[in-house]
Amino acid sequence: MPRITPERREAKRAHIMAAARRCFSRDGFHQTSMPDIAAEAGVSAGAPYRYFASKEEIILAIAADAFRLIFDPVEQLAAAADAPSVADLVAAALAALSVETVADSAGRPVPVDELLRCAVQTWSEVLRDDAVRSRALEGFESVRRSIADALCRGQTAGVVPLAMEPERGARMVMGLLHGLLLQRAAFDLTEMTGFDEDIRILLEGTERPGASSR
């Protein structure tokens, strides 16, 4: 099979995706043309079509990546934590918004602010593209279930009020995360320290002595 070696192919695909992500982050999905992406990647206009069937498919890949890279840490923390309080969950989620870069599946560093900007744009696509919508809903429900499970464990351990309905509680945690994600991407939220303390103050009525702010 005298094509290219699989690793080379994978690397080039990732190279084109990274170029697309930069373009999308800068100009938006629909203000970025395929020639723009090709130029950013330093290849000819037809080259991306060797790796993606259409622009739609690039958007889908970028959107899936953005959600996964942002929410995987949150989901893993929710699944791993023993009996987290609501404040623990929120603080862990916000920590995921505060880092500079995350690693993709092959260990390549990806700037978080690019992911956030792509995620915000993906929300618009969710409203009208069924492929994006079903993937996004699937990811959302997965994270929400993890958080709801964690809240149930917290209720058993007595650190989460029994009267609170875990499904709604998980929706609120997701909402706060989405909302601060939006502020970070679009509404000039630059300073992330202090939120975990304030959340603890609001939810537990007390400041925690051994604070964990970075």
Which residues of this chain interact with a second copy, rule CB under 8 A? 26-31, 86, 117, 120-121, 123-124, 126-128, 133, 136-137, 140, 161, 163-165, 168-169, 171-172, 174-180, 182-183, 185-189, 194-195, 198-199, 201-203, 205, 207
- Residue 76 binds: one of DNA, a second copy, none (C-beta under 5 to 8 A by kind): none
Output 108 or 171, the one with its CB closest to a second copy: 171
DSSP string across the chain? --S--HHHHHHHHHHHHHHHHHHHHHH-TTT--HHHHHHHHTS-TTGGGGT-SSHHHHHHHHHHHHHHHHHHHHHHHHHH-SS--HHHHHHHHHHHHH-SEEE-TTS-EEEHHHHHHHHHHHHHHHTT-HHHHHHHHHHHHHHHHHHHHHHHHHHHHTSS-TTS-HHHHHHHHHHHHHHHHHHHHHS-----TTHHHHHHHHHHSS--SS----
Least CB distance to DNA at residue 175 (A): 33
The answer to whether 43 contacts DNA (rule: CB under 7 A) is yes
Output 81 or 189, the one with its CB closest to a second copy: 189
Least CB distance to a second copy at residue 203 (A): 6
The answer to whether 4 contacts DNA (rule: CB under 7 A) is yes
Q: Name which of residues 18 to 37 contact DNA (CB under 7 A).
A: 31-36
The answer to whether 46 contacts DNA (rule: CB under 7 A) is yes
The answer to whether 39 contacts DNA (rule: CB under 7 A) is no
- Residue 171 binds: one of DNA, a second copy, none (C-beta under 5 to 8 A by kind): a second copy
Displacement of CA 196 from its chain's centroid (Å): 19
The answer to whether 131 contacts DNA (rule: CB under 7 A) is no
Longest dimension (CA), the chain: 67
Interface with DNA (CB under 7 A): 1-5, 8-9, 12, 31-36, 43-47, 49-51, 54-56
